[in-house]
Chain A
Amino acid sequence: MSIAVNGDASSSGWQNQYYHVDQVLDRPGPRTDPSFLAGDGVKDFLRNQCKILVIGAGGLGCEILANLALSGFKDIHVIDMDTIDISNLNRQFLFRQKDVGKPKATVAAEFVMNRVPGVKVTPFYGKIQDKDEDYYMQFNLVICGLDSVEARRWINATLVNMVDPENPESLKPLIDGGTEGFKGQARVILPTITSCYECSLDMLNKQTAFPICTIANTPRLPEHCIEWASVLEWPRVFKDKKMDTDDPEHINWLYNTASKRAREFNIEGVTWSLTQGVVKNIIPAIASTNAIIAASCCNEAFKIATSSAAYLNNYFMLIGTEGVYSYTFEHEKRDDCPVCGGQTMDITISRDWTVDRLIEMLVERQDIQIKKPSLSTPTTHIYFQAPPQLEEATRPNLEKKVSELVDDGGEMTVTATTLPFSLSIRIKYT
């Protein structure tokens, strides 16, 4: 019997590179999905067909890329907009001192390709918002290792919007990992089917904000001095110039300004890294938390790609602040979620109908119970009930035909006091 050992990097391929992984792919188990194709079928899919996108090549991203490459994904893409900073090197282990200043995505991709034979990693140095639906459509799976709420909301909404009921391939499972100090979570989002990122936004820890008058008058903490510099002094001194928290010169200015303030009030503890931490709202990243969460994300990606075992339904949470505690539960989809919830109603009307007539019909419908609806499309404000200036500006649209403003099959967003959030209607013409 041959036992595979970890190969060394200098050899051009490992003996039995996938020996251990194959143990779970060569035969079905009690928990495998009925669609599981033991042996060559599943291996071929994982290694020759499956295309996976990793968003973020930072603390989580480095771990995710290494795990995916070692578990047999061979067509990996990675997006990251950042360059390597010296402070990343303690945990972002694909980077070395010589890489400081280079794009994370590119360096990470090269490192993984050099280290793991047969894996192709395609980097993109830029923003996720630079890419369109066609780009995201090419992947089977997406894994996020991001530290920004805004970026997560964007990719979540994009993947939910991409789901086309006519095309099963348009549904891209999203595996989202996140860490904050000793806490972390991994979750599986099946856009439109399970709860999405937006559904759970209210579970986020609120970022601490200090009362502005405390900052202005009675600072006691180093954070108060830093906020004074960034919230009050920056706009006063630089007027409309935008503060860029990624620009070291801007952080320097804030650090110096906050230090001066701290000296005036005899406050200790303003440092450069605290300044950066406060303005970027950074919670210190911990390598072991990243490792656990990344492992969990990649485990889910592997199970979904191979159907070799049941995948996470749908939220895994890790709390390592006191001991190590983890909990798995099903986070529920919210009906009033602005991204995946709400209803889309099909409404069929004649091409001659005016907006006014449509509104009258919406108000009369017993099944939706709305009063005073306001209507818009992604590009046009069709009719707004208030405030007066917008009501006046949109009033001429009441006389226009709906078909002049909305294409056949086009959607409208309806808001009204009686609706908890909004209603989407899809207009069809007879």
Chain B
Amino acid sequence: MIKIWSMKKNEDAAAKKKPKTSAAQIRVQKDLTELELPSTMKTNFPDLADLLNFTLTITPDEGMYKGGAFNFSFNINTNYPHEPPKVKCTQTIYHPNIDLEGNVCLNILREDWKPVLNLNSVMVGLQYLFLEPNADDPLNKEAAEELRRNREHFIYNVKHAMRGGNVKGVQYDKVLV
């Protein structure tokens, strides 16, 4: 057997025994503890010991979704940051880029995810969806259509849905703060 350990090893390399905190865990610690969230976003950890599962509440202070509180669940797996976090809206909301199951159309959550991105990028991206809903990437086609055709009426629908109203046969959750 080759004598690897007799190779000239510097003291530092020998002292580099790492703790058994997983790479994903350390990266999540770094992402979370460096978050600088505006007052419109708040994280909540149902289990304080579990950093990999939590929720984010967004309360937009401008735009057509102002006055609502929108909840998203974050599930991070052990392949983070090589895989993006799984993010879903936990309420039924009227939004062109979010479907009734809570799936979110945000490029950095799928095709454009890169390990250099972090939880902050995702949260900022989500908040942006409420300031600038986008009719070009529809997940709720009815809502996207309405936004494209008649912006005024779309805004009316948003307000109505946020109060827990029914839009085109779909019952939306009440999300007013």
Contact = CB atoms under 8 A, between A and B. Distances in A.
Given A209-B113, A417-B34, A236 B15 contact: no
B175 interface: no
A25 interface: no
B18 A390 contact: no
A344 interface: yes
A161 B20 CA distance: 7
A87 interface: no
B1 A386 contact: no
A213 interface: yes
Contacts of B29: 374, 376, 381, 384, 413, 415, 422
Interface string B1-40: 1111111010011111111111100110110111111000
Interface in A85-112: none
A363 interface: no
B33 A374 contact: yes
A413 B19 CA distance: 8
A4 interface: no
A338 interface: yes
B61 interface: no
Nearest to B114: A206
B13 A161 contact: no
A339 B18 CA distance: 7
Contact of B33 (A33, A161, A236, A385): A385
A151 to B, nearest CB: 11
A210 B37 CA distance: 29
Interface stretch (A62-70, A165-173, A262-270, A349-357): A165-173
A311 B43 CA distance: 50
Interface in A337-369: 338-340, 342-344, 346
Interface residues of B, number: 56
Nearest to A33: B2
Contact of A193 (B9, B37, B82, B110): B9
Interface stretch (B99-107, B125-133, B161-169): B99-107
Given A304-B1, A386-B36, A346 B15 contact: yes
Interface in B142-166: none
Interface in A297-315: 303-307, 311
A150 B79 contact: yes
B35 A387 contact: yes
A201 interface: yes
Interface in A152-172: 153, 157, 160-161, 163-165, 168, 171
Nearest to A239: B101
B171 interface: no
Most interface-central of A157, A338, A388 (chain B CB within 10 A)? A338
Nearest to A411: B19
Contacts of A208: 111
Contact of A217 (B27, B82, B138): B138
Contact of B17 (A50, A210, A344, A377): A344
Contact of A164 (B4, B17, B23, B34): B17
Given A338-B26, A387-B43, A390-B45, A210 B111 contact: yes
Interface in A161-201: 161, 163-165, 168, 171, 173, 190, 192-193, 198, 201
A212 B3 contact: no
Interface string A267-281: 000000000000000
A253 interface: no
Given A150-B79, A201-B82, A140 B33 contact: no
A35 interface: yes
Given A232-B103, A381-B48, A211 B111 contact: yes
B16 A340 contact: yes
Interface in A117-143: 140
A362 B21 CA distance: 20
B141 interface: yes
Most interface-central of A190, A304, A413, A416 (chain B CB within 10 A)? A413
B9 to A, nearest CB: 7
B49 interface: yes
B111 A236 contact: no
Interface of A: 33, 35, 45, 50, 140, 149-150, 153, 157, 160-161, 163-165, 168, 171, 173, 190, 192-193, 198, 201-202, 204, 208-213, 216-217, 231-232, 235-236, 303-307, 311, 338-340, 342-344, 346, 372, 374, 376-378, 381, 384-390, 393, 411-413, 415-417, 421-422, 424
Q: Which 9 A-B pairs have the closest CB atoms?
A: A168-B5, A165-B14, A374-B33, A338-B23, A411-B19, A415-B30, A213-B137, A209-B110, A213-B105
11 contacts: A153-B79, A165-B14, A192-B13, A193-B7, A211-B105, A212-B105, A311-B2, A344-B18, A374-B33, A415-B33, A417-B34
